[in-house]
Amino acid sequence: MKKRLTQQEEFDIMKLVLDKFLWLGFGVMVYGLWIMATGVEHAFARGLSFIVGGALVLIVFMMIIVREYEVIK
Per-residue pLDDT tens digits for 3-62? 787 878 877 887 888 788 888 889 999 999 998 888 877 888 889 999 999 999 888 888
Helix boundaries (H) for the chain: 7-38, 43-68
Q: Is the predicted pLDDT of residue 73 greater than 50, yes or no?
A: no
| pLDDT confidence of residue 29 | 93
How far is 4 from 20, CA to CA, in rounded Å?
24
| pLDDT confidence of residue 70 | 63
